[in-house]
Structure 1
Amino acid sequence: MREKIIHKAADLFLTLGFKSVTMDDIANKMGISKKTIYVHFANKTKLVEATTLHVFEAISQGIDCICAVNKNPIEEIFEIKQFVMEHLKDEKSSPQYQLQKYYPKIYGALKSKQTCVMQDCITENLRRGVDMGLYRNTISIDFISRVYINNMICLKDKELFPLKDFSMTELMENYLEYHLRGICTPKGLEILTRIINNNQS
Structure 2
Amino acid sequence: MDNKIIERATEMYLTLGFKSVTMDDIASRMGISKKTIYQHFENKNDLVEAVTMHLFETISCGIDEIITLNQNPIEELFSIKDFVMQNLKNESTSPIYQLQKYYPQIHKTLMSRQFDKMGDCVIDNLKKGIEQGLFREDIHMELIARFYFAGMTSIKDAELFNPIQFSTKEVQETYLEYHLRGIATEKGIAVLEQLLKNNNQ
Q: TM-score by structure 2 length?
A: 0.98
Write the distance in 1 (CA, Å) between the matches of 2:53 and 2:124. 24
Q: Return closer, same or farther for 1:93/1:11 CA change in 2, 3 Å cut-off.
A: farther
Q: Which amino acid aligns with 2:73?
A: P
Structure 1 segments unaligned to the other structure (5+ residues): none
1:11-35 Cα distance to aligned partner (Å, 9 max, x none):
1101111111111111111111110
Aligned length: 201
Q: Cα distance, 1:187 vs. partner?
A: 1.1
1:35-70 Cα distance to aligned partner (Å, 9 max, x none):
000000111111000010000000000001101111
**Helix, strand or coil: the match of 1:20?**
coil
**Partner residue in 2 for 1:195:** 195
Contact residue 93 and residue 157 of structure 2 kept, 8 A: no
**Partner residue in 2 for 1:137:** 137
Write the distance in 2 (CA, Å) between the matches of 1:93 and 1:158. 5
**Partner residue in 2 for 1:74:** 74
Contact residue 93 and residue 156 of structure 2 kept, 8 A: no
Q: Cα distance, 1:93 vs. partner?
A: 5.6
1:61-110 Cα distance to aligned partner (Å, 9 max, x none):
00011011111000000000000000011112622211001100100000
Q: Cα distance, 1:125 vs. partner?
A: 0.2
**Partner residue in 2 for 1:126:** 126
Write the distance in 2 (CA, Å) between the matches of 1:3 and 1:171. 32
Structure 2 segments unaligned to the other structure (5+ residues): none
Contact residue 93 and residue 158 of structure 2 kept, 8 A: no
For 1:1-201, what aligned pairs fall within 5 Å after superposition?
A: 1-92=1-92, 94-201=94-201
Q: TM-score by structure 1 length?
A: 0.98
**Helix, strand or coil: the match of 1:89?**
coil
Write the distance in 2 (CA, Å) between the matches of 1:128 and 1:93. 31
CA RMSD between the two structures: 0.9
Write the distance in 2 (CA, Å) between the matches of 1:140 and 1:93. 30
Q: Return closer, same or farther for 1:24/1:164 CA change in 2, 3 Å cut-off.
A: same
Contact residue 93 and residue 163 of structure 2 kept, 8 A: no
Percent identity between the two aligned chains: 56
Q: Which amino acid aligns with 2:101?
A: K
